[in-house]
Amino acid sequence: MRLLYPLAVAAMAWCQTPAATPAAGAAQVPVKPETVVATVDGKPVTAAEMQGLFRTVGPQVQQNAARDPQAFLRQYAMLKRLAELAEKNKLDQQSPYKEALAAGRMQILYQAAIQHTYEHIAVSPEEQKKFYEANRDRWTQAKVKVIYIPFTENPPAQPPAGGKKPLTEAEARAKAESLVKQIRAGADFVKLVKEHSEDPTSAAKDGDFPIISKSDQIPDNIKQAVFALKKGEVSPPVRAANGFYIFRAEEVLLKPYDQVKDEIFNEVKLARLKEFLDSLQNSVQVKVENEAFFRQAGSGSEGQNR
């Protein structure tokens, strides 16, 4: 393991050091996959093989390899020589390396199997459209205006110099209820926004609030209040963490199919992949033949983690 340490440090240093940038305006000549682009210990390495190597490493190494592929080649040659040395000494047939190689192979193969299965799951446009129609409620959106009345749990006895006296929760609720009555009696909503709303972002836009979707991660009571409204209707005061909202529905609309079809495509594919994996899991037959072994193995791992 000590032998690997300097190599690992060198590899990390190469990954973290920006490589030289090619001269501006240098011509990029296409290289055929079968073209021999280097030799390693006298053995040819083609462009296709180098590209394949690039794809096997992590994103950071890929980025540096793209900037300085020759450094990547030198690093690969060193690792290849060490791997050959390990095989010469039959380390691949000894524990724990033999088991680690088998585990690594299994990990690569199961990931490949999942990826292959996912890529070959077919979802037709008709299925996407059917999913959209069956879940129209999910794509419903509301365009609203809002008045926000904040409150403070423990307001100071005296208001801050030059500022408004903070309201208690009861005072804020009473004020919001009064505003709702005025609006439902015909008061100008936008006028009340400018006079009373303390959400500066929406108040500066006559109360316009970002479009709300049913799939948004917002408190349920706000979502329920908003989507219970029809166009032009005003909600009762809706309590939030530090204030009350009054919503007026400007428009209730359905997100167009073209905007969500890719999302639907991926969701259906993932659902089918999950079904496949669940079915596969259920088909695997596992029977414990020696309970004592697994109890000992479990207690041993707990001791190592302490």
Instruction: Kindly report the CATH number assigned to the domain that includes residue 187.
Output: 3.10.50.40
Query: For the chain, what is the domain count?
Result: 2
Per-residue pLDDT band at 9 (split at 50, 70, 90): very low
Collect all residues with Cβ–Cβ distance below 8 Å to 165 and sequence separation of at least 6. 155, 159
149 & 90 share domain: no
What's the pLDDT tens digit per position in 63-117? Answer: 888 888 899 899 989 999 999 999 999 999 999 999 999 999 999 999 999 999 9
> In whole angstroms, what is the distance from residue 166 CA to residue 174 CA?
14
CA triple 160-164-168, angle to 5 deg: 95
Which residue's structure tokens are 């690997």?
Answer: 4
Domain boundary among 257, 276, 301: 257
| 3-state SS assignment for residue 82 | helix
Does 275 fall in a domain?
no
Those residues with Cβ within 8 angstroms of residue 53's Cβ, 6 or more apart along the chain or in another chain? 72, 76
> 143 and 112 in one domain?
no
Tell me if 276 is assigned to some domain: no
Q: Are 64 and 15 a contacting pair, CB within 8 Å?
A: yes
**Whether residues 185 and 248 fall in one domain:** yes
End-to-end C-alpha distance for the chain, whole angstroms: 24
Q: Does one domain contain both 214 and 175?
A: yes
In a domain, 251, yes or no: yes
> Which tokens hold the place of 304?
């190592």
Is 203 part of a structural domain of the chain?
A: yes
Residue labelled with tokens 């446009």: 125
pLDDT band at 16 (very low <50, low <70, confident <90, very high): very low
Task: Encode burial over 222-255: b for 16+ CB neighbours within 10 A, e otherwise.
Answer: bbebbbebeeeebbebbbeeebbbbbbbbebeeb
279 in any annotated domain: no
Both tokens assigned to 31:
């290289």
Residues 170 and 115 grouped into a single domain = no
**What integer is the mean pLDDT of 20-27?**
49
Choose between 208 and 25: higher pLDDT: 208
- Distance of alpha carbon 62 from alpha carbon 53, whole angstroms: 9
Q: Which domain holds residue 243?
A: 139-154+165-257
Helix (H, G, I), strand (E, B) or coil at 180: helix
Q: Which residues pair with 148 in a beta bridge?
A: 245
- Please state the length of the chain: 306
To the nearest whole number, what is the mean pLDDT of the chain? Answer: 87
| Same-domain check for residues 100 and 185 | no
Q: Are residues 10 and 42 in the same domain?
A: yes
Q: Which residues contact 211 (CB under 8 A, 6 or more apart)?
A: 141, 142, 143
User: Is 290 a member of any domain?
Assistant: no
The answer to the question of residue 126 being in a domain is no
- Whether the pTM exceeds 0.75: the reply is no
Q: Are 34 and 48 in contact (CB under 8 A)?
A: yes
Burial class from Cβ neighbours inside 10 Å (0-12, 13-18, 19+) for residue 38 reads middle
203 and 115 together in one domain: no
206: Cα separation from own chain's centroid: 34
Same-domain check for residues 103 and 209: no
State the pLDDT at residue 28. Answer: 67
Do 234 and 180 belong together in one domain?
yes
- Same domain as 215, residue 106: no
